[in-house]
Amino acid sequence: MANESPATDAVVHIIDDDDAARDALAFLLDCHGLTTRTYPSAVQFLKAVGSLERGCIITDVRMPEISGVELVERLKALGVTSPIIVITGHADVPMAIQALRAGVTNFIEKPFSDEVILEAIAGAIAAEQGRGELEGERKRIRERLSTLSLREQQVMDGLVDGKANKVIAYDLGISARTVEVYRANVMTKLGARTLSELVRMVMIARLA
C-alpha cells in the first residue's frame, strides 16, 4: 500500500527550524517504523555530516542562516549523495526549479498528506539502496580489474570496443592464439561468463 513504509534500516534526517513541524514529521515516520534524526537548522545538520548514516534527507526551504536550497548546494559540494526531499510552505516555481537544479530528489509543498511524504521517502530510500548496491558492485569489479596485467587490460579494451580477436592481435602485434589466451584470463579473473557480461562489468567500473 502507498502509506506503508519500506522495510529498511536507512535513517531519515529531518532538518526544520519549526519545532512543531519537525517533531510531527519525526513522530509520523517513527510510527511507520522509520528511524529518524532531527536537526533544528542546516548549520546543526552540517556539523553532523561527517558521521551521516545512509538514508535520505528531508529539509525545509526557508530557514535562518542557511536555506534548504543552500544546504542542498553545500551537500553536493561536499560529495554527499544521499537523496534529498525539499519541503516548503512557501513554494514557488523559481524556488522549485532552483532546488531541482541543485539535485533534490523531490519537492513537496506544505501542507502535504501522510501518504505523499511516505511515498516520497520510500522512493528516495529505494534509490539510495539501489545506488549503494551499484557502488558495491563497482568496487568489486574494480578490485578484479586491478588484478589484470597490462596485456590483459589491452586485450580487454579491444574486446569492449567490439574488436575481433584477429584485429586485437594485429593492433598489439601478437598472435590471435595469444589473444585467446589473454581473453580467457580476463574472463576468468573478472568472473564474466559471456562477452556481453564482460562489457557490462567494464561499463559499470568506468562510471564516475
Which pLDDT does position 2 carry in this prediction? Answer: 42
Q: Which three cell numbers stand for residue 16?
A: 526544520
List the domains of the chain with CATH numbers.
11-135 (3.40.50.2300), 147-205 (1.10.10.10)
Average pLDDT over all residues of the chain: 84
Asked if 49 and 80 count as a contact pair (C-beta separation under 8 A), the reply is: yes
pLDDT digits (tens, 9 = 90+) for 132-169: 666 777 888 999 999 999 999 999 999 988 899 999 99
The three-state secondary structure class of 4 is: coil
Query: Is 177's pLDDT higher than 80?
Result: yes
Which pLDDT does position 146 carry in this prediction? Answer: 94
Which pLDDT does position 180 carry in this prediction? Answer: 95
Sorted by sequence, the CB contacts under 8 Å of residue 120 that are 6+ apart come out as: 85, 105, 106, 108
Asked if 57 and 79 count as a contact pair (C-beta separation under 8 A), the reply is: no
The reply to whether the predicted model has a pTM over 0.85 is no
Which pLDDT does position 10 carry in this prediction? Answer: 82
The three-state secondary structure class of 62 is: coil
- End-to-end, the C-alpha distance of the chain in Å comes to 35
* Higher-pLDDT residue of 139, 170: 170
